[in-house]
Amino acid sequence: EVQLVESGGGLVQAGGSLRLSCAASGFSFDDYGIGWFRQAPGKEREGVSCIGSSDGRAYYVDSVKGRFTISSDNAKKTVYLQMNSLKPDDTAVYYCAAIRRGSSWPTLLEHEYDYWGQGTQVTVSS
């Protein structure tokens, strides 16, 4: 059974930090990329960052560059999203997702992703 389980969300003040984790199981981790997405209230879900499990190459959207860092621990089959200098605009439910890497990789188009976690809430207070 494929599972992606996010953890690490919570309430933090603006300027603070959180580290999200995405624990994967049930598929060949090295063949997949992992992406982080977020959905704020009343807004569409958007891609934030993604990483190739086998090569560790990371990609970010402009709004989080320099503040967020994605990393992968292949031995633990876990991908992390370190979020620093958080802003109220970062408030959202954060999801991780897995995509079997092919011609569309790298991508943050959510319809390309095969498996999704249940999400974890991140709230940044001003």
State the virtual CA torsion across 80, 83, 84, 86 in degrees, nearest 10. Answer: -170
Helix/strand/coil for 9: coil
Task: Going residue by residue through the chain, which has 126 residues, state the pLDDT in tens, using 9 for 90 and above.
Answer: 999 999 999 999 999 999 999 999 999 999 999 999 999 999 999 999 999 988 889 999 999 999 999 999 999 999 999 999 999 999 999 999 999 988 788 999 999 999 999 999 999 999
At residue 56, the pLDDT reads: 85
| CB of 10 closer than 8 Å to CB of 18 | yes
**Tokens for 110?**
């959510």
Pairing of strands 10-13, 120-125: parallel
At residue 76, the pLDDT reads: 96
Hunting for tokens 């958007």 — which residue is that?
46
Q: Which residue pairs, CB below 8 angstroms and at least 24 apart, start in 55-58? A: 57/106
